[in-house]
Amino acid sequence: MNKKYYTTVLISILTIVAFSLVSFIESPEEEEQANQVKWMTLDEVVEAQKESPKPVIVNLFTTWCVWCSKMDESTFNDPGLISYINENFHALKFDAEADINVSLNGQEFPLITINNRKVHKLAWEWGAVNNRIGYPTIVVLDEKMNKLQAFPGFKDVEAMRVLARYFVEDVYKSKSWQEYLSSGN
């Protein structure tokens, strides 16, 4: 066979190999998504629970909340925490003042007024502590979307790690949050 034939075959093989390798490289968009908490909508979480049941970490926020933004910029930007949350939880970011109606477990949840403040009924049910709600509030739900506990206020990276481990390691089943914290975790 002639040299031209071998050159054509070699170029074809190299082209196939090159295209195969390119398909394994993440695009900048995919890489950016891998470095972020995979926040879902409520509907997406409900669907994800059917395929892969996990506890749910809920970030209750408002658009005007400075500390909510600070948590997004700092706490939820830590690569180790991002990986831990994405691996062990479904993550739900929920605007506590959104004027939307949602359904969950056959119940309707609209925007309501409590103490002269607009708040989403679902955010209130999940996030109220001592009949008050503040922002941000981190709520942890079980796989069936039942509230386990709410944690109002800004959380830095270490506080979120401790909080997440408390639920992932099922410590909440045998120790109260205060007992867990006082045991040095």
pLDDT in tens, 33-50: 468 999 999 999 999 999
- Per-residue pLDDT, averaged over 2-12, amounts to 62
**pLDDT reading at 15 higher than 60:** no
- Per-residue pLDDT, averaged over 162-174, amounts to 96
**pLDDT reading at 30 higher than 50:** no
Q: Which of 13-27, 81-95, 97-111, 168-182 has the lowest mean pLDDT?
A: 13-27
More confident site: 150 or 6: 150
**DSSP H/E element including 167:** helix 157-168
82: tokens are: 């991002």
More confident site: 34 or 156: 156
Phi, psi of 183 (to 5 degrees): -85, 5
CA-angle at 22, arms to 16 and 23, nearest 5°: 95
CA 56/CA 59 separation, integer angstroms: 10
**pLDDT reading at 86 higher than 90:** yes
Which pLDDT does position 121 carry in this prediction? 97
**Size (the chain), residues:** 185
Token pair 């470095």: residue: 35
**pLDDT reading at 65 higher than 60:** yes
The number of angstroms, rounded, from the C-alpha of 113 to the middle of its chain's C-alpha atoms is 27
CA 159/CA 67 separation, integer angstroms: 15
Which pLDDT does position 185 carry in this prediction? 73
Yes or no: say if 130 and 137 are a contact pair by the CB < 8 Å rule: no
DSSP 3-state of 125: helix
DSSP 3-state of 111: strand
More confident site: 95 or 24: 95
The mean pLDDT value of the chain amounts to: 88
- Per-residue pLDDT, averaged over 115-131, amounts to 95
Cis peptide preceding 152, ω within 30 of 0? no
Q: How many CB atoms lie within 10 A of CB 112?
A: 13
What confidence category does residue 54 fall into, taking pLDDT thresholds of 50, 70 and 90? very high
8: tokens are: 């054509």
CATH top-level class of 35-156 = alpha beta
Provide, rounded to the nearest whole percent, the portion of the chain with pLDDT above 70. 82
Which pLDDT does position 184 carry in this prediction? 79
Yes or no: say if 127 and 137 are a contact pair by the CB < 8 Å rule: yes
In 48-60, which positions are buried (b, 16+ CB within 10 angstroms) versus exposed (e)? Answer: bbeeeebbbbbbb
